[in-house]
Amino acid sequence: MNSSERAPAASFIKSDGSAVELKDLVGQRTIVLYFYPKDETAGCTAEACSFRDSYEDFKAAGAEVIGVSSDDAASHESFKKHHRLPFTLLSDPHGAAAKAFGVKKTFGLIAGRVTFVIDRAGVIRHKFDSQVRVQKHVEEALEVVRSLEGKSAA
């Protein structure tokens, strides 16, 4: 999946167990959709906390942050509570959404860490793929959101 391509159809599981389609999330705000390997692991916690710490900046710039992993709703709720995460975490239990987005496993084993910025029209405007540069996911996404929404850093 490259920048300037339409985001694929994808389905996720919300914390209440119901399904949600990506198309239902797109439209009102720019979406920062980040795929990560696993709740409560060092890199994923650092990434989630970086998104948490910049969440108000994302909101002010007109975006919503959504994290996605294969973890179940109970794991996500515990992770959110433990780290005071203000944004939505969705489950992709069988990896179908990750596959639709072209998120590849590292060494064929570890779920990918890829962030997408999807504009209000459902077009992917940015993709950042790095298993180790977790802070860069947040920095690049915020920069792209601000440019899309015409907002500059305060």
Which residues share a beta bridge with 11? 21
Instruction: Please name which of 99, 44, 84, 83 lies closest in space to residue 67, comparing C-alpha atoms.
Output: 44
Instruction: Please name which of 134, 113, 137, 135 lies closest in space to residue 126, comparing C-alpha atoms.
Output: 137
Options 13, 26, 32, 44, the catalytic residue: 44
Helix-strand-coil split of the chain, %, nearest 5: 35, 25, 40
Has 49 been annotated as catalytic?
Answer: no
- Residues tagged active-site: 44
